[in-house]
Amino acid sequence: MSNQGTNALGAANQAWMSAFHNGPYTSIKMIEYITGRFNFTYNNLITRPRDYRTRANLITENGGDAYFRGTWAGNTGRCTSFAAKVVNNLERDYPGVFQFQFHHFGGHRIAYCTRNRIVIDSGSLVGAFQLTPNQWKSINDGTVNWMVEDSGRLSWSRTNRLGQTTTHTSSNPISRDRAMVLCLQEVAERAPCLVFFRSVQQNGVPRFHGMIKWDFRAKRLELTAASETPNHKVLIIWDGTGNAASEDEALRYLSEFLVNYGGPRYWAQWTADGIDEINYRIWVYACNAWGGDPRAEREGNGN
């Protein structure tokens, strides 16, 4: 591909939008990696998540790309996977145009292009964006702000729904493999197992939809509706009172949730990288570990 006259921000934004649209935010592939790396089964995840926490520090860069490629090269992943795949595609398709670094901000990782000052951040709701030295860049309705200094130091601040603002800085870039290690260690320590659907709307605006999340301590699967109806949640519960009929109903709730709250790409995202099969595998292990068939109940006021 010719690089003459390349619109760097336009190319970066196109790659960002493609990654956002094609797959959900999810930790499932990281869970799969850790499970296989340490010869666990999903029973460990469900009944002994501490097994994952005790292995966190054993995840290192040794092995490099051969170890980690499956956690970022597909269509799914967390913030690190998102940045890694976008960077890989841009540097492959536009050699000499981009030169990215990865930065770690206390639980969040992004990629920053030192040639064009472009940021690849999966949490952005404006796609890829460009920084002006020593000036704050405000995105996401002012709740997220970025700045790069002449020295190359990056600053990132985020304001939560309670109005509390936290600020992180990074002066030392890290490698992609180190970024993936940090991501995998976080997943091992907390064992978050979720799928957050998203898409790019016809007007070009990125949007998040519904979320499916396992709560292993409470022995349930939570189906949380899109952000405009945050009080609507379906709980699929394993408490020993379910039967075959209630499990069928729970599976129906899950299917309806995907259609109603998974966004326009729900099926492509649910089946991306085989994460649907992994979720159903966890479901089977849950039935064996938690006393039989589940039942579903609604929480909040939704349909």
Residue 126 CB-half CA count within 13 A: 14
> pTM of this prediction?
0.93
Q: Which is nearest to 81 in space by CA: 10, 179, 156, 11? A: 179
Question: In whole angstroms, what is the distance from residue 181 CA to residue 186 CA?
Answer: 9
User: Could you tell me the two tokens for 133?
Assistant: 């030295």
- Kindly indicate the confidence band of residue 228, based on its pLDDT and cuts at 50, 70 and 90: low
The predicted structure's pLDDT at residue 229: 58
- Residue in this structure with the two tokens 């939560």, named with its chain if needed: 160
The pLDDT tens digits for 170-226 are 999 999 999 999 999 999 998 789 999 999 999 999 999 999 999 999 999 999 997
The pLDDT tens digits for 41-56 are 999 999 999 999 999 9
Q: Which is nearest to 104 in space by CA: 176, 42, 167, 179? A: 179
The predicted structure's pLDDT at residue 1: 41
Spatial strand order of the sheet with 100-104 comes to 100-104, 109-113, 118-120, 129-130
The pLDDT tens digits for 85-136 are 999 999 999 999 999 999 999 889 999 999 999 999 999 999 999 999 999 9
DSSP letter at 77? B
Helix (H, G, I), strand (E, B) or coil at 107: coil
Helix (H, G, I), strand (E, B) or coil at 5: coil
Helix axes 65-72, 79-93, angle to 10 degrees: 100
